[in-house]
Structure 1
């Protein structure tokens, strides 16, 4: 298994770190049957990829064998944002490659410089990944991940753009919906919850992202399985 180096993973403010850690702990309370978790948003730019990456990191650093699958194959920026590169400089073959049949799952998933953390990045975006998601190979990938890792965190395209999220959700044990404070309407959130229900994907919780307190500090709160991650 090749190693993927995450060069850009800065330390978070203490309160935000604690909020994400509380999210990790509460997911652990959901039981052993929750293994494959989709992280999704209603619209772009709500912070779903950030939450997916940080939740993956939290689990791995807590000693839990966890894999992050970047399944947002339309507009993924995760590799660039976190400065991912393979040790030795060889070309990365990611999600779209493996779903197209290029290589086996074991060789496609990279170990990382985060102990217990493994990643299947998306190296090349594609115009229409729906066919890749709908074929049996994607279901086989998630089954493989579910059998070999305690948690599989799947970053998906937003629900309002395409049907990708519903397809992914139908194969996961639950979803975390990321909502941007002051931007995403309540009606949009309700519609997203209905889409997940239609896909047969339980809504595990809602992360309210980019919430600033009156003093501009970071804080965390919990109410009715909703998790608040605040940032300036």
Structure 2
């Protein structure tokens, strides 16, 4: 597994890595615990993180949840399956020359596409080059095979997907994984769109575990809250 880091840094950061003792990091650990309690009977090993629309915090939530699961001692893979506007490689400052699309096109074996994140127990599968046909690639048996191989190696597979109302990709991935979390941005996410997003996840038989409200001002300065489905 090769390290492919970008020389140029950017403004993105993962608070659970940079400030693990902060109140915000504790909120992500609370969400982690709630996810575990929601699946006592049936383990949720693979999980998609989505939102109704863009810029509602789903990629930030996916990254931080991946980190807190890894900090718990679980072996975690974070997959960037947003093949339209990928961001995970920016967040972890990694090169995106190869990744998920490389696997879907069968250009290399799984282990050669996966990268270390810099956080113990956490590996990253970036999106790879943006394809012209994301939905077609994700709906293939090869995508199921990638998730199956990841599930055989990792304790948790967290998949960052496009907003569910923006593309069919998320509903496809929702049908392949054990559960889903929807991120809602306080004061931004339209209630009607949130309801439609929930319906879209249910329609693909994705187990909606709950919703994370992002950016809500609270007295103790926490920026996210978890609501069970």
**What TM-score comes out, normalization by structure 2 length?**
0.88
Alignment of 1:12-51 (within 5 A): 12=19, 14-29=22-37, 30-31=39-40, 33-51=43-61
The residue that corresponds to 2:108 in the other structure is 103
- Kindly tell me the number of residue pairs found equivalent between the two proteins: 219
Corresponding residue SS for 2:176:
coil
The residue that corresponds to 2:198 in the other structure is 193
Structure 2: where are the runs of 5+ without partners?
Answer: none
The residue that corresponds to 1:82 in the other structure is 92
Shift of 1:106: 2.1
Structure 1: where are the runs of 5+ without partners?
Answer: 86-90, 227-232
Corresponding residue SS for 2:196:
helix
Alignment of 1:106-185 (within 5 A): 106-185=111-190
Shift of 1:78: 2.3
Q: Does 1:211 align with 2:216?
A: yes
The CA RMSD measured in Å over matched residues stands at: 2.1
**Greater fraction strand:** 1
Shift of 1:222: 4.8
Q: Is the 8 A contact 2:214 2:224 kept in 1?
A: no
Corresponding residue SS for 2:188:
coil
Alignment partners' CA distance in 2, 1:94 and 1:179: 28
The residue that corresponds to 1:52 in the other structure is 62
Alignment partners' CA distance in 1, 2:108 and 2:79: 16
Q: Tell me: CA distance 1:220–1:188, structure 2 relative to 1, closer, same or farther (3 Å).
A: closer
Shift of 1:36: 0.5
